[in-house]
Structure 1
């Protein structure tokens, strides 16, 4: 694992960028919520920041799902009885006075997709961005807000299809459904996002923050639903269905890497194989 799975850079007092850099597939490991939570708390005191951009420097992966094999390494809540750090990060980002913008290239699944859903604006590469919630395919449930935020964007039935089937969706479908703000040709993505960021950075800080807060009143799920979702996710990681699949999923590093490129298809094929063999 890279010693710095997240990098924070400032291009101006008004604009900062968070870059995910955990090759080879940008899995969400324990170091990522630790570092990201620290950054978000640090930026809470930055009165000049107006735009925070999220991107990746790992080819083919924006931010992937949780590394369930090392879930014990994930940090506990900062305050006893408080929300888990992953939930707290998304809550703080959606309520922050600055605007969060995702520049999405590559696979964006599970916890990574849920973080993207918590961003204010999501711009995706038509050729390179893919989205999914693969948890049910591994006998767990989404815990980072996918079941709370996605239905508000795409509707109940489409959210159910995405969550229940665990398939991957291309950027064109994600745009059509409302999963992302826009999908653009990859060659145009940087210039377009840079233009949006520059425009927002030039506007009045108070007007931006107030407008975001007003829209939030109409659009965000209740905080307690997000807290409950993480608890339900953790509970499913201790159930026989997940434990049996985890024990049977013995892949070589190369097999695991290849599976990440087509995870939705891999999960569906494995489930049908188990069903035909009489398994669950």
Structure 2
């Protein structure tokens, strides 16, 4: 396996691995990250010894900002091949079914596809002060494509799922814990130690028992894979519409995907550029 370029892999022991996202400037998710994660997952499965993988970030401000929205050639491919399952959808489905424990240690911003990645892991721990989690896609005139409409109701309930997806607002670590989005939040200076202690404990147990637990919990909780393809298809269809392109254009001009106030306060910025049919799409005014 080639050395990854979007994260570092640390093998603390044969049973406990750590993936630390490191893709400046804001830890975007893209096809390269998807491919590199698949390579590590294959290696972990083939090792027959991995019991736990922890996912964290080298950047305390950005965990996984969102998907790279500048990949226009990707949209062309998706529209030309509607029968295919998008690679990111396939990655999340695979992540949820890996035969070992997966733990997210969330410090920094995890929005859009970043939030969807968290939802596909088994356990989520968060910094009380520095975790920022949200699905902002409605502000870009799109459905969230990575499956939160399917995964969130079982965690936070129907009403709070609508609150998150309709509102497009962020949760901090405390609110995410109250809603059930994360298992627990910790004071930021205690997060690393708490995650390390729990992950090491799980890694010390019998691997077959961990696999059995994962299998039966998945049987009880996972929804059909087809639901995820439909949501991703709806997202890419939205990307091809004028409303989404209007918002995206103005956000990129203001600093999207850069280390900027746009990325730090994205739920606020999307409301500034809302599209209205028949309005001046170049005006940059929302309402």
Fold shared, TM-score > 0.5 on shorter chain: yes
- 1:224-254 per-residue CA deviation (whole Å, 9 max, x = no partner) reads 1011111111111101211222233322579
Which residue matches 2:7? Answer: 6
CA distance, structure 2, for counterparts of residue 12 and residue 278 of structure 1: 54
Check conservation: 1:5, 1:20, Cα contact below 8 A. yes
Q: Matched residue of 2:71: which SS?
A: helix
- Alpha carbons of structure 1 residues 13 and 279: separation in structure 2 relative to 1, 3 Å: closer
Which residue matches 2:230? Answer: 228
Is 1:154 the equivalent of 2:176? no
- 1:98-142 per-residue CA deviation (whole Å, 9 max, x = no partner) reads 100011100111001100000001000001001000111011111
Is 1:22 the equivalent of 2:23? yes
Runs of at least 5 residues in structure 2 that lack an aligned partner in the other structure: none
Is 1:258 the equivalent of 2:261? yes
Aligned residue pairs total 277
Shift of 1:145: 1.3
Check conservation: 2:75, 2:236, Cα contact below 8 A. no
Which residue matches 1:38? Answer: 39
Shift of 1:42: 2.5
Q: How does 1:118-267 map to 2 (within 5 A)?
A: 118-249=120-251, 250-252=253-255, 257-267=260-270
Runs of at least 5 residues in structure 1 that lack an aligned partner in the other structure: none
- Alpha carbons of structure 1 residues 121 and 71: separation in structure 2 relative to 1, 3 Å: farther
TM-score (norm 1): 0.90
- Alpha carbons of structure 1 residues 69 and 87: separation in structure 2 relative to 1, 3 Å: same
TM-score (norm 2): 0.88
| 24-33 or 94-103: bigger deviation | 24-33
